[in-house]
Structure 1
Amino acid sequence: MTDAMTLDSYLAAGGVLTNPTNVPPRYRAELMKLMATFVDSELAGAAGFADVINQGPGIKERIAAAKIVLEKTDHADRVLKIMGEFGADTDRYATHHPWTARLDRKADIGATRSEHDMRLAVFNYPISGWTDAVVMNLLMSRAVAEQLAEFSTVSYQPLAEAFRQIAPIEAHHGELALEGAVKLVENGASQDMQDAVDYWWPRVAVSFGRDDPNRFEHLRSLGLRHSTNAALRERWARSADEALKQLGLKSPS
């Protein structure tokens, strides 16, 4: 049995790797792609949300929005430091990409990534005001929860530990979004919120991506995936739908 086969068996059985020196090239490539997607999405998401901080209806809301921007940027930094251990140029990373760049509001790019970075497609769309930001955060925070639950068990131990530390903070962002959404409903913004749900729901849903059975099996054999994209999307849809029902809103049929 070759060393490569031995490593495959080790990872497939739940083994973990702990430093860059024992990571083979094909594993490194997939790990870097996973990390880049997370870092780029956090930086792009923070940049988009930063633009609406001062649209918050009160000081408490603006503090919550600023906190989300700060923490998302910090989460990107945590994972970027791990990327740096694999040779990524962390010094120029934050300023190399146009994190604030957005498409036209009416654009529909499906799951297509930006030509500039690895952000999820949903972070290419502009946020239109405070209500829109709250609804987007409400839906996306639940998607992030499912994604982090998946990535907290990856076979590269330092990254899995980082994701486990990040997960409860991102979950709190969802709690802040729900709190803000409740206030909007109380202030009579239900129709605007439903319009925002109708806009963001399909864009968040597609961020899970399509399922490629061969690719999934490859990632599973490396210990980098355990649930299919469809399973993650279904769990998100149930969680998001439950949150919307609390607000008297509904998911698009």
Structure 2
Amino acid sequence: MGLLEQEKEQQLLRKIADGETIESVEEMTEEYKENLIHLMLMQADSEVAGAFGYVPWIMKAPTTAEMLSVATIAKDEVRHGRVMYKLLQELGVDVDDRVKGFDFTLRVGDEVELGVTRAAQDDRVNIFYYPINTWYDFIMFNVLMDRGAGHQLEDSELSSYGPWRRVMEGIMKEELMHVAHGDAWLVRLGRDPDHREAAQEALDRWFPRVMNIFGKPDSKRNQIYRKLGLKRRDNHEVRLAFQEDVRKVVERAGLVMPDWTPDWERLQEDATISG
């Protein structure tokens, strides 16, 4: 790192420590810009991939009222993606070429469990590679993934990057409406003897997938995000807050909270047993 870059970094870190926001590319170090773009691409790609996964359920929703609900949720996700891509354009990302270059309709087979791995080269959170095959799946996306995204994006509302911070209030309000839609349906399905078993099966399948999206505790990348003010909390801290939030609605629905063992702990256990 050259002297000018060191001075720039010191100035940037001072601003962040003083609670000031970064407003322009000129204020950014290369490290800051690279990590900011990575996080924002993850959000933008996930919003668009999520919307594309929801679209078929406009036609397959159980009632005409739900057709409108699903269409509104899909529209919200496309809007969120566009808001984020617009910010990325201002940072020099060619977003239209990006969207044309990736298949955001791509989904893995029903038998595939990705764990913490990826299925393609776009930056969507890997939960958006799984297919939504049933209404129970759609509801679990609202309950779990929209809730998980909300917990992750809480830090973005306090991001050191001002333009991102300012758009998050509107995005978060809509995400919370999606969660409320899912919660109402989960309670309805869980308390109905005809649907309780299928709802529990979907919960058992989707909960571990969503728990995996938060990343490993105290990861090096998360440490960098926190240093730069792009995140405030460790991955595992966010995951535990999400888990307790899910537990409340699962109990209201009369369902059983699923177990989850992190992949990294499972690998350690397997190594101990084999050793």
Q: TM-score scaled to structure 1, two decimals?
A: 0.94
Please say if 1:56 is aligned against 2:32.
no
Deviations 1:73-120 (A, max 9, x none): 100000100000011112333332111111111212212123220011
| Residue pair 2:144, 2:246 contacting (<8 A) in 1 also | yes
The residue that corresponds to 1:179 in the other structure is: 184
Query: Which residue identity is paired with 1:130?
Result: W
Please say if 1:138 is aligned against 2:138.
no
Number of paired residues?
A: 253
Single out whichever of 15-24 and 95-104 deviates more from structure 2: 15-24
Structure 2 vs 1, CA of residues 247 and 98 (structure 1 numbering), >3 Å: closer, same or farther?
Answer: same
| Residue pair 1:137, 1:177 contacting (<8 A) in 2 also | yes
| Residue pair 2:188, 2:253 contacting (<8 A) in 1 also | no
| Residue pair 1:139, 1:204 contacting (<8 A) in 2 also | yes
| Residue pair 1:136, 1:197 contacting (<8 A) in 2 also | no
Give the Cα–Cα distance (whole angstroms) in 2 for the partners of residues 214 and 201 of structure 1: 25
Deviations 1:177-220 (A, max 9, x none): 12233343465211100000010000000011113444333221
The residue that corresponds to 1:248 in the other structure is: 254
Map 1:7-26; keep pairs closer than 5 Å: 7-26=12-31
Give SS of 2:254's match: coil
Deviations 1:39-62 (A, max 9, x none): 111111111111222221101111
Please say if 1:211 is aligned against 2:237.
no
Query: Which residue identity is paired with 1:163?
Result: M
The residue that corresponds to 1:76 in the other structure is: 81
Please say if 1:94 is aligned against 2:69.
no
| Residue pair 1:131, 1:192 contacting (<8 A) in 2 also | yes
Please say if 1:152 is aligned against 2:157.
yes
Give SS of 1:173's match: helix
The residue that corresponds to 1:116 in the other structure is: 121
| Residue pair 1:61, 1:180 contacting (<8 A) in 2 also | no
Map 1:161-176; keep pairs closer than 5 Å: 161-176=166-181
Give the Cα–Cα distance (whole angstroms) in 2 for the partners of residues 206 and 217 of structure 1: 18
The residue that corresponds to 1:191 in the other structure is: 197
Give the Cα–Cα distance (whole angstroms) in 1 for the partners of residues 219 and 211 of structure 2: 19
| Residue pair 2:8, 2:29 contacting (<8 A) in 1 also | no
Unaligned runs of 5+ in 2: 1-5, 260-275
Give the Cα–Cα distance (whole angstroms) in 2 for the partners of residues 71 and 93 of structure 1: 20
Instruction: State, as a whole percentage, how many aligned pairs show the same letter.
Output: 28
Q: TM-score scaled to structure 2, two decimals?
A: 0.87
Give the Cα–Cα distance (whole angstroms) in 2 for the partners of residues 108 and 214 of structure 1: 25
The residue that corresponds to 2:130 in the other structure is: 125
Give SS of 1:2's match: helix
- Deviation (angstroms), 1:139: 1.1
Give the Cα–Cα distance (whole angstroms) in 2 for the partners of residues 247 and 201 of structure 1: 15
Aligned counterpart for 2:231 among listed residues 205, 208, 225: 225
Please say if 1:65 is aligned against 2:70.
yes
The residue that corresponds to 1:39 in the other structure is: 44
Give the Cα–Cα distance (whole angstroms) in 2 for the partners of residues 57 and 215 of structure 1: 42
Higher relative contact order (CA 8 A, sep 6+): 1
Deviations 1:102-147 (A, max 9, x none): 1111212212123220011111111121122112221112111111
Unaligned runs of 5+ in 1: none
